[in-house]
Amino acid sequence: MGGLSALSILFAAMFYAAAAALFFGFLSKIYQFAATPSPLKIPTAPAPTTALGAAGRVAGEVLFFTSLFKGNKWTWLGGYVFHVALALVLLRHLRYFLQPTPKLVELAGPPGVWAGIIMTAALVYLWIRRKAVDRAAYISLLADYFALGLIALIGVTGLVMKFVIRTDVAAVKSFIIGLVTFSPVEMPADPMFMLHLLLVMALMVYFPFSKLLHAGGVFFSPTRAQVDDCRERRHVNPWA
């Protein structure tokens, strides 16, 4: 790392620390979820009677938020739009990580920009919802606004770099590829990019210690993932 500015070294170090926190933090929680036993069969009935059916049920929750749709159409709308837009934004960002840029990622370029706008707007909508509905206001914690605000700020700083103070995309890409190939290079001297990256790193650290664990946890929810085969197969409680 000879010849790098102190600032670049600092950012590189922070990035590796944040990535490690996300990776090991998330992995340890997932391991904990997976390793905790299920003493009894508790799928919310009516439940699928085959493993394939149960996988389909979980897939429905993950891909379409089926239960939330049943519960509240307006929350579903905001939440679903946000998550789909986020997925597109992440896909678009792969262009900064992969050389050469794969075709699919290239295609995600223009819609990815729109998605950035929509994602940020959806976060504002979800924020307003929390304030406007008395039930939602009652249950909302600082952590809920923090997550919305943090991701919204990441969106805003990204959009600013796209539309207001354009950043040197080539320099950003070489910096990020340097990071992910463990051969860091000088980071672009663009305050907006630094801020964007700082916020992203904060999110990476925050992720495994927060409600954002729903991203992995949904796969382990016994009420959705379990198969209703209580009669056919004797479920054994490992600790009784």
Partner 1 sequence: MAAKIETETLTGDINIPSIQPGATAHYKSNPAKEDHNKFLGFPGARVENWREAAVEHMGELLGKYKSLRVFMDICVRCGSCADKCHYYIGTRDPNNMPVARQELMRKVYRKYFTPAGKLLPDSLTGASELTEAVMTEWYSYFHQCSQCRRCSVYCPYGIDTAEVSMAAREIMDHVGIGQKYCNEILGKVLKVGNNLGIEPHALKNTLEFVEEDVKEVTGADVRYPMDEKGADVLLVAPSADFFSTPHIEGFTGYGKVFHEAGVSWTVSSYASEFANFGMFIGNYDTMKKVAQRIRDAALDLGVKRIVVGECGHAWRVGYSFWNTLIGPFDFLDPKYPAPQHICEFTLDLIRRDGLKLDKSANDEFTVTFHDSCNVARGSRMGDMPGGQFEVPREIIKAVCNKYVEMDQNTIREFTYCCGGGGGLLTDELMDLRVKGVLPRANALKEVMDRHGVNTMAMICAICKAQFTKVLPNYGIPMETVASLHQLVSNAVVLGGKIGV
Q: Which residues bind partner 1 (CB under 8 A)?
A: 29, 32-33, 36-42, 44-49, 61, 65, 67-68, 70-72, 75, 79, 133-136, 138-144, 209-211, 213-214, 217-218, 220-224, 228, 230-231, 234-237, 239-240
Q: Can you say whether the dihedral through the CA atoms of 168, 170, 171, 175 is positive or negative?
A: positive
**Closest approach of Cβ 36 to partner 1, in Å?**
4
**Closest approach of Cβ 18 to partner 1, in Å?**
15
**Closest approach of Cβ 76 to partner 1, in Å?**
8
| Residue that is written with structure tokens 């916020």 in the block | 199
Helix (H, G, I), strand (E, B) or coil at 167: coil
Q: Which two tokens stand for residue 29?
A: 């929680």
**Closest approach of Cβ 78 to partner 1, in Å?**
9
Of the pair 37, 110, the CB lying nearest partner 1 is at 37
Q: Which two tokens stand for residue 24?
A: 């090991």
| Distance (Å, whole) CA 184 – CA 12 | 7
Of the pair 101, 221, the CB lying nearest partner 1 is at 221
Q: Can you say whether the dihedral through the CA atoms of 145, 148, 151, 157 is positive or negative?
A: negative
**Closest approach of Cβ 189 to partner 1, in Å?**
33
Helix (H, G, I), strand (E, B) or coil at 97: coil
Of the pair 14, 213, the CB lying nearest partner 1 is at 213
Burial pattern 190-216, b for ≥16 Cβ within 10 A else e, equals bebbebbbbbbbbbbbbbbeeebbeeb
Q: Which helix (H) or strand (E) holds 186?
A: none
| Distance (Å, whole) CA 55 – CA 59 | 6
Of the pair 170, 240, the CB lying nearest partner 1 is at 240
Of the pair 174, 210, the CB lying nearest partner 1 is at 210
Of the pair 74, 114, the CB lying nearest partner 1 is at 74
**Closest approach of Cβ 63 to partner 1, in Å?**
12
**Closest approach of Cβ 27 to partner 1, in Å?**
14
Q: Which two tokens stand for residue 19?
A: 């990535």
User: What DSSP designation does 98 have?
Assistant: -
Of the pair 111, 222, the CB lying nearest partner 1 is at 222
| Distance (Å, whole) CA 201 – CA 205 | 6
